[in-house]
Structure 1
Amino acid sequence: MKTNIISRLSTALLVASIALVSCSELEDNDHYSNTDSQINNKELKIVNQTSDQYMHSREDLSQMNQLFEAQGIYKELQEKGQFSTLLVVANNDFKQPSTDSIKFITRSHISDISISPANLKDGTRLMMWHGKYVDVSIDSLGHEGNIVDHIMFNNAAIKEVVKTTNGYIYIISDMIKTPTSLRDYIESLPDDYSIFRDMILASGGKVFDRTNSKAIGVNNEGNTVYDTVWIYTNEFFDNVKFDMNSESLTATMLLFSNDVINDAMNDAHERLGKWQLERSDSLIKDWLLKTSFFSKKYTGEEIQTTEENELKSIYNTVWRTDLQQVDANNPIALSNGIVYNVKKLRFPLGVLVYRLKDYFHHYEYCTAEQKDEYFKGTNLTFKNCSTEVVAWTPWAGVWPMHENRVLQYDKPSGLNDSEGFQLDFTPVKKDADGNITPYLIPPGTYRMGMGFTQAVTFSALTITVFANGTEIAKVSRKVGGNTDYHYDRGSTLPRCFPEGYDASYVREMGGNSKASYYDTDGGKIFDEIIIPDVNGDNSGVKIVIRISSNDWEGQTFIRLHHWCLRPIENTK
């Protein structure tokens, strides 16, 4: 029983094909003769015969002619009554197809498009009767008008060109070899690639297409046996209109062996351990799947370069060509794309760390010693930690409750405004048991956001960041007076929500109308801040965020909500 894949030509392709036929008749500038044949130039023969008549007249094409006869090609051409292109080989180059592939191979040599040499362009793709394309490639001499040995259909060079009364016959150097499709290639991957293969196949399935499957008999149980046609469905790819079965696809796929994936996962776990962070393996591998496919065919030079080059996948994830190692010299050509083996993979920081966000109110869980170490204040008096917005969720039962709880410092009694204040804060986290430890921030490039309160305005609040005692960033921001820095409402920052959260979708599903105020990164402090690898081993580093002002500006207190570091998209 054969398994076929449906390939459907779009209306646009059909129109283009018709136009191509018309153009070929206009551009050839050759004509029919009353004699049996006439040489218009040294590489084009024009005959006053149909294609099947000409094939019957050439003894050296007899084996290909017999194959076409046996497979009903001439009869089908006659029934269609349209122009065509035949790709054929002389007897010396003929290879008899096996029984199970004879139909597929035979039909890989016939196209409903009558295409002349004048219309063969480098990169042209010609749809054949087996539902797949052959690719036309032309060398430098071919571009100068030479045809023989300088124009290729897939693996085969043109040896002769014959124009008949109903199309073209190209005698080629070898029978057409049709590369497998992307979907077929993935299914046939050996077990050395089982992790990657199974991730792709598990994301979809196939459905029996009874309408297009032809009944060919009845088995011993009385059930109808079909020459089966499958429709492959895959929501993961369908959502981005990427059809691995379509022969009109021109794709690039990155291929990962089990060894490459396992080495990368081990490296990821080691790095996360150094940073005292956790990340789900499934989320890491999800990035791998989303980053493996591109809707453009890339050259070896494009897929691997030492320059900082970014390629965007079908899911718009970033592949850094200077970071990853790809075998660019040995591409695998498919009928609808190209595959490159990845030799070494490193998961970017943004895959291992979605964002680091935590709260100033952890002060209340600190010991006296920790307060002195992690919250070093000058001209500040601790007032309290209080909840200003009780815990809420934009979509009950789907997203967790979230409260706006702040740390408040008051201006000390009798202090002049001009004496200002300063807080040296070390970001800390609280575990499930209430224990406080400092964050070890992974080296990399981040965007930084913070939240305060709308009720208090400072026109020039200075934020300075230190790593290992060295100043790495400093900026002055106006905070308060509007919603930009109010808690974590994040009025202007893009990509500012928790992982997997979509405020528009939440509202559409009947969620809270204030869904866009939920657990964002806050207001912008730095577009980019680089956390250095101070130890030279990619280990995490404790940072200090200094919040200071030279003037209290008439304010009597300051309320601090949160800090947030989000890796930028292209960071290593």
Structure 2
Amino acid sequence: MNKHLLMKTIKYILSSILLISGIYACNDDWDSHYSQEEQVVNNVNITVVNKSAVDYLQSQPELSTMYQLFSETGVLDEMIEKDLLFTILVVNDDNALSRAVVTDDRTFLAKSHISDISLSPSNLSDGQRVLMWNGKYINVSKVENEDNATSISFNGIAVKKITKVNNGYVYEIEDYVETPKSLYELIEGLGDDYSIFREMIMERNQLTFDKEASKIIGVDETGSNVYDSIFIVTNPYFEAQGFNMMSESLSATVLIPSNEVVNRALTVARQNLQEWGMLREDSILENWTFQSVFFDKKLSKSDFEANIDLNSIFSKQWRTTVQQVDLENPVSLSNGVAYYVTDMKIPTNVLIYRVKDYMRWYEYLSEEEKALYFDNENLTFDKMETKVSEWSGWPGVFPNIINRVVRFKTTDAAIKEYTLNFTAFSYDEKNKVTTPYKIPPGEYDLCLGFEQKMGHDVEVSFNGEYVGTVTASQLTKTDFHYDRGGQGYPEGYDVNKATDKKKTNYDRDGGKVGVITIEGTEPVNVVIKFHGINASKCCFHHWCLKPTKNCY
């Protein structure tokens, strides 16, 4: 067979196929055949219409509400421009009007009902996820009933009717599909009443130029390419905690405080600090108000009720018995859940990192002040002594300090005991002013520094309550040796970054004697009683109160 004859034969075969197809397309039996192939859904056959999706929506009076939604939000124009295959979810007027979704983002709502893929019932599977135009996934449920009919739902909303149009499928459902915003989208869209919290997050965003996604649209006068630039929004501050609030795979919780809640918490915190005679940087207080409210798991009401403390992604403590959250009205998110905070307290252990001061101020006191703050029995001042001159474990970052101690001898050596009732005070070197400390209620670790190998036991009491005994045996070690050992370091001190060879000795809390609790609601003066047993001399370096997690 020559080439010309072969081509003629092929054209004849194709024409015959097209003719046969046209006959079936015009035959009423074709719709019936198509429906049988597709499956029965809720005992309703698929309707096939020879119209585009846009034309079909416009032709159905009972879908006028959805048509208006798609039209006013530009979805219809976008469908025509794309000229693709679609899956569209619609709600008839009866349901749309009676179950209207309360939202200020109608474009987001409209785009949650359309997908750039044509999905027939036979191509849907139980548990499938479908990406919609608003960038959110909806979940497909497909269950075969006892009568062999198949029930389909999207995000739990049942399908009532299916129509196959020329460029896809239209599924009529019983209610609007809700595709929650992501955690990031929720925060980004917060109104002016939440602007403080919103901006705390948004100001940490970073725009990164995406060269791969950007198109070259010309060349400038230097010969460099000019791009129709695409930028990616990231938030490295949160991502450093392994927390990408823009990711749909995240499962998280955010607690959202209003401007009123944040400002009230900051005002109370500043008033407390002023009453206590203490200072704290505003940035620490402000940062806590957002660092404490992000969690890397989805928390339910029962989680708040069953746990006293929740720890945020920034390792900040959220005490559920103190902070107030509206647990009755959670906001579902595509990657977690949100709750609104009704009242917030910045914890005492945030306002106070630690209170640490030195006994060496003794040498600057008047005789009256010495009698007041160092009230004692059987002690006589011996001398002041500098054990280590100025140094820093992290030079250039942390200030120089000195190890200077005050020494006493027993007045009557035969008694071999002494008592020192020390009233904690601060000393202003510049103005030469002495002020008693006022410590707020709460639970604290009491830490002290003496001198290694003092050779006797020291019973310690706090505001009249016995705390513990530092034994001569303990004092042979370095835990209570000045402030070289014991508990932690000054705030922000990273021993891994410090450079001095004795960096682990720098400005520590000192040895822990025990836990003390200040009761009541008002700050109090502090009296630490030292009772030395079998002693002929003593040496004091510092005292320290370190708030515990219960100092909230």
Give the structure-2-normalised TM-score.
0.75
Q: 1:409-441: per-residue Cα shift (whole Å, max 9, x none)?
A: 123354243xx2211111111124221111111
Match of 2:519 in 1: 532
User: In 2 relative to 1, CA 116–169 (structure 1 residues): closer, same or farther, beyond 3 Å?
Assistant: farther
Quote the residue 1:561 is aligned against. 541
Structure 1 equivalent of residue 480 of structure 2: 485
Secondary structure of the structure 2 residue equivalent to 1:480: helix
Going from structure 1 to structure 2, the CA distance change for 1:457 and 1:327 (only over 3 Å counts) comes to same
Identity among equivalent positions (%) equals: 35
TM-score by length of 1: 0.73
Find the partner of 2:137 among 133, 140, 145: 133
Q: Which moved more, 1:355-364 or 1:482-491?
A: 482-491
Give the whole-Å Cα distance in 1 for the aligned partners of 2:119 and 2:532: 76
Asked if residue 505 in structure 1 is aligned to residue 497 in structure 2, the reply is yes
Query: Could you tell me how far apart the structure 1 residues matched to 2:83 and 2:311 are?
Result: 44
Query: Partner of 2:328: helix, strand, or coil?
Result: coil
Q: How many corresponding residue pairs?
A: 483
Structure 1 residue 570, shift from structure 2 partner: 3.9
Instruction: Please report how far the alpha carbon of residue 284 of structure 1 lies from its aligned counterpart in structure 2 after TM superposition.
Output: 0.6
- Counterpart residue number, 1:415: 414
> Does the 8 Å contact 1:43/1:161 carry over to 2?
no
Whether the aligned pair in 2 keeps the contact of 1:60 and 1:91 (CA below 8 Å) is no
Matched residue of 1:264: which SS?
helix
**What residue is the counterpart of 2:155 in the other structure?**
153
* In 1: Cα distance, 2:149 partner to 2:422 partner: 74
* 1:176 CA drift (Å): 3.7
Structure 1 SS opposite 2:329: coil
Contact 1:475/1:525 (<8 A) preserved: yes
- Residue 39 of structure 1 and its aligned partner are, at CA, apart by 9.3
Contact 2:39–2:150 at 8 Å: present in 1 too? Answer: no
2:344 matched to which residue of 1? 345
Residues 1:530 and 1:398: Cα distance change in structure 2 (over 3 Å): same
**Which structure 2 residues correspond to residues 142-541 of structure 1 after superposition, within 5 A?**
153=155, 156-159=157-160, 172-214=173-215, 226=228, 229-303=230-304, 305=305, 309-412=308-411, 414-417=413-416, 420-431=417-428, 432-458=430-456, 460-466=457-463, 471-478=464-471, 479-491=474-486, 493=487, 496-506=488-498, 511-526=499-514, 528-533=515-520, 538-541=521-524
CA–CA separation in structure 2 for the residues paired with 1:413 and 1:402: 35
Shift in CA distance, 64/127, structure 1 to aligned 2, threshold 3 Å: farther
Structure 1 residues 106-115 or 238-247, which shifts more?
A: 106-115
Deviation at 1:137, TM superposition (A): 9.5
CA-CA distance at 1:359 after TM superposition: 0.8
Contact 2:111–2:133 (Cα < 8 Å) also in 1:
no
Give the gaps of 5 or more residues in structure 1: 1-32, 48-52, 78-85
Alignment match, 1:106: 114
- Letter of the structure 2 residue corresponding to residue 255 of structure 1: I
Q: 1:275 to 1:87 in 2, by over 3 A?
A: same
Q: Against the structure 1 CA distance between its residues 516 and 233, is the aligned structure 2 distance closer, same or farther, given a 3 Å change threshold?
A: farther
C-alpha contact (below 8 Å) 1:109/1:176 kept by paired residues: no
Distance across 1 between alignment mates of 2:405 and 2:54: 89
Which deviations, in whole Å up to 9, do the C-alpha atoms of 1:312-351 show, x marking residues without a partner? Answer: 1111111111101112222223332322211111111111
Deviation per CA, 1:49-82: give whole Å up to 9, x if none: xxxx97979999943999797475866x9xxxxx
Letter in 2 for 1:504: N
Contact kept? 2:108, 2:134, Cα under 8 Å: no
Change (3 A) 1:347 1:516: same
Kept in 2: contact 1:111–1:126 (CA 8 A) = no
Question: Does the 8 Å contact 2:276/2:440 carry over to 1?
Answer: yes
Cα offset, 1:567, TM superposition: 0.9
Are the counterparts in 1 of residues 91 and 176 from structure 2 also a CA contact under 8 Å? no
Secondary structure of 2:114's match? helix
Note the aligned Cα RMSD (angstroms): 4.3
* Shift in alpha-carbon separation, 1:58–1:474, aligned structure 2, 3 A: same
Counterpart position of 2:125? 116
Task: Determine if contact 2:139/2:155 at 8 Å carries over to the other structure.
Answer: yes
Distance change >3 Å, CA 442–CA 106, structure 1 → 2: same
* Counterparts of 1:286 and 1:99, CA distance in 2: 34
SS in 2 for 1:546: strand
User: What secondary structure is seen at the aligned counterpart in 2 of 1:268?
Assistant: helix
Q: Which structure has the larger Rg over C-alpha atoms? A: 2
SS in 2 for 1:329: strand
Structure 2: state its 5+ residue gaps.
1-31, 60-74, 98-104
Separation of aligned partners in 2, 1:356 and 1:134: 54
2:225, 2:505 → 1: CA distance? 60
